[in-house]
Structure 1
Amino acid sequence: MNVENGIHDAPYFVPQPSKWPIMGSLALFFITAGTAFGINNVSIGWYALGLGFLVLIGMLFGWFGDVIRESNHGDYGPQVDYSFRWGMSWFIFSEVMFFSAFFGALFYTRVVSVPELGWFSNTHDYLWPMFHQAWPALSGPKVAPYTPMEAVGIPAINTGLLLTSGITVTIAHWGFVKNNRRQMTLGLAATVLLGVIFLCLQVKEYHHAYTEMHLTLASGAYGMTFFMLTGFHGMHVLVGAIMLSVMLARVIKGDFTPAHHFGFEAAAWYWHFVDVVWLGLFIFVYCL
């Protein structure tokens, strides 16, 4: 098939059958089964969990490699690029819905459940004595006393780190448009570094919450929503940092041109989404 200006003259590229989807399914099977067996003290569970992660890592390297080789070979024409953009847009939309569910749970708990429980407590004997209509509820018959997390300190520092990372990834994008390799490299490296620092500080925050503030997943609705929202966001920061690290390695290798760099654009879209979600978390979980 003829290639002109690095783009196939075919309207759409159809790849060869791939082994990577089945390997990904096997990895998820071993990870799920290993976790289930492990938490039930079945010794083989942890081996299965480790095997699952090894298969998953191998699948990611192999699948990334195939896609990169196809892109560099010029297999992806305008229609494929169009499909990639819509695919990433719908993926980010699904992530918006994912976090909307957790924010919705937080909203329902604070705005609906707590006032209703306060009304029941004042009119009936359905709840434990001395229940106070307040968020967060700092104690209860099955909830050990704890201290809620404040916005100052690590949360405020992490907010500054992510806002700064949004600037550095935009600087990197300008480098792609201008074909400035040095700007691409420095912008991406700074963004990845800021993401890693964010994750390290979040680990420190969790350790402080568990050991000194006695704030755990078992700390009532507040503890559950706090760790679910911040924990899943931290996982997304990790995924975004991995994506940007792959883009950094490709830039150092010499990939991408000003006209063809959607791999980076997709990672940048994802990173901006992570930034916006954190702003919502900082306001509704830490500040209010």
Structure 2
Amino acid sequence: MTTKHQTYYVPAQSGWPIIGAIGLFLIAFGAGNYIQQLATEKTSGGYILLAGIAVIIFMIFGWFKTVIDESMAGLYSPQMDRSFRQGMSWFIFSEIMFFGAFFGALFYARMISVPWLGGASNNAMTQEVLWPAFEAAWPLIKTPDGTTTEAMPWTGLPLINTIILLTSSVTLHFAHVSLEKAKRKPLIIWLSLTVILGAVFLGLQVEEYSHAYQDMGLTLTSGVYGNTFFLLTGFHGMHVTIGTLFLIILLLRIIKGHFTPDKHFAFQAGSWYWHFVDVVWLCLFIFVYVL
């Protein structure tokens, strides 16, 4: 009795991982230098950061093309498909841990550090030494050197962006349903709407940042409130950018006739990622803007 084994495709050596590593290094190095140079007239850190982002975008499109070519050539087996699902699941789990660290920093500052500086837990003596005029209230709109800023309200652009992202999850769900029913035209329309909504979200976030810096005095140097605000919303914006690029690639593949109702894990992966990004924003809207 013979047993038929599934073939498991092992790709050839690729240069994309090292290119991605270089891009991540440039982003980390450039971001660190950019923050250090905020109080100076130097701009080298910002250029290095942009170069790193450009390298990552180049890597994403190049690596995706390689995987797409392998998939369309029929090199992947059901076992490979399960590996992709496990890999995407672990990736999203790592992203949950990533944002969990920043939410943890926010909660620590609000629930522990701020009350402690305000004299909680019989800490009045230490408060008088460290910051006598400190008022234990969140958000902190005044830094120890006397600099004041404004808190970003939840109304206006943040609320509009929340509605936009929630709507994009609905349009993406309709696109997925259309794919499962082999309705190509509605699929293209719904997915195109999702991409447009993602791009509009990013445009409005740029406008929000411009308003914060120019009109509100809310910057990365505005104490712990400014730090946590821009780190959480900025990293989320980066994930929306990656997700939008992901959806654009899926849209181009669908226009070319890729995917079937029975075989479309790449679309599912993009859908998982986009819904995750939407859930993170909903948490951001509640804990950063509203509360």
Say if 1:26 and 1:225 are closer, same or farther in 2 by CA, change over 3 A: closer
Residue in structure 2 matched with residue 93 of structure 1 by the alignment: 93
Structure 1 Cα separation of the partners of residues 229 and 30 of structure 2: 27
Name the SS for the 1:126 alignment partner: helix
- The Cα shift of 1:122 comes to 3.5
Say if 1:58 and 1:278 are closer, same or farther in 2 by CA, change over 3 A: closer
Say if 1:221 and 1:50 are closer, same or farther in 2 by CA, change over 3 A: closer
Residue in structure 1 matched with residue 252 of structure 2 by the alignment: 249
Q: How many residues align?
A: 281
Please list, as runs of the form range in 1=range in 2, the aligned pairs for 1:183-202 lying within 5 A after superposition.
183-202=186-205
Residue in structure 2 matched with residue 25 of structure 1 by the alignment: 21
Structure 1 Cα separation of the partners of residues 97 and 131 of structure 2: 35
Residue in structure 2 matched with residue 61 of structure 1 by the alignment: 61
- The Cα shift of 1:173 comes to 0.2
Deviates more, 1:42-51 or 1:67-76: 42-51
Say if 1:143 and 1:231 are closer, same or farther in 2 by CA, change over 3 A: farther
Residue in structure 1 matched with residue 114 of structure 2 by the alignment: 114
- 1:156 maps to amino acid: L
- The Cα shift of 1:75 comes to 1.2
Residue in structure 1 matched with residue 82 of structure 2 by the alignment: 82
Structure 1 Cα separation of the partners of residues 170 and 18 of structure 2: 38
- Would the aligned equivalents of 1:24 and 1:55 in 2 still touch at CA under 8 Å? yes
Identify which of 229, 240, 264 aligns with 1:261.
264
Name the SS for the 2:147 alignment partner: coil
Structure 2 Cα separation of the partners of residues 19 and 78 of structure 1: 26
- Would the aligned equivalents of 1:128 and 1:140 in 2 still touch at CA under 8 Å? no
- The Cα shift of 1:34 comes to 6.3
Say if 1:50 and 1:137 are closer, same or farther in 2 by CA, change over 3 A: closer
- The Cα shift of 1:29 comes to 4.7
- 1:101 maps to amino acid: A
- 1:202 maps to amino acid: Q
Say if 1:149 and 1:123 are closer, same or farther in 2 by CA, change over 3 A: same
TM-score normalised by the chain length of structure 1: 0.89
Structure 1 Cα separation of the partners of residues 290 and 46 of structure 2: 39
Residue in structure 1 matched with residue 175 of structure 2 by the alignment: 172
Q: State yes or no: 1:155 paired with 2:158.
A: yes
Deviates more, 1:109-118 or 1:134-143: 134-143
- How far does the alpha carbon of each residue in 1:57-94 deviate from its partner, in whole angstroms, 9 at most, with x for none? 44333321111111111111110111111100000000
Say if 1:131 and 1:173 are closer, same or farther in 2 by CA, change over 3 A: same
Residue in structure 1 matched with residue 125 of structure 2 by the alignment: 123
Residue in structure 2 matched with residue 12 of structure 1 by the alignment: 8
Residue in structure 1 matched with residue 70 of structure 2 by the alignment: 70
Residue in structure 1 matched with residue 278 of structure 2 by the alignment: 275
- 1:246 maps to amino acid: I
Deviates more, 1:150-159 or 1:120-129: 120-129
Deviates more, 1:84-93 or 1:18-27: 18-27
- The Cα shift of 1:44 comes to 8.5
Say if 1:37 and 1:126 are closer, same or farther in 2 by CA, change over 3 A: closer
Structure 2 Cα separation of the partners of residues 186 and 17 of structure 1: 38
Name the SS for the 2:102 alignment partner: helix
Q: What CA RMSD, in Å, does the superposition of the two structures yield over aligned residues?
A: 2.6
Say if 1:227 and 1:55 are closer, same or farther in 2 by CA, change over 3 A: closer
- Would the aligned equivalents of 1:143 and 1:219 in 2 still touch at CA under 8 Å? no
Structure 1 Cα separation of the partners of residues 124 and 286 of structure 2: 30
- Would the aligned equivalents of 1:27 and 1:56 in 2 still touch at CA under 8 Å? yes
The answer for unaligned runs of 5 or more in structure 2 is none
Say if 1:55 and 1:166 are closer, same or farther in 2 by CA, change over 3 A: closer
Deviates more, 1:47-56 or 1:228-237: 47-56
The answer for unaligned runs of 5 or more in structure 1 is 1-8
TM-score normalised by the chain length of structure 2: 0.88
- How far does the alpha carbon of each residue in 1:132-151 deviate from its partner, in whole angstroms, 9 at most, with x for none? 11112221332511110111
- The Cα shift of 1:26 comes to 3.8
Say if 1:135 and 1:54 are closer, same or farther in 2 by CA, change over 3 A: closer
- 2:59 maps to amino acid: M
Structure 1 Cα separation of the partners of residues 108 and 21 of structure 2: 35
- The Cα shift of 1:48 comes to 6.7
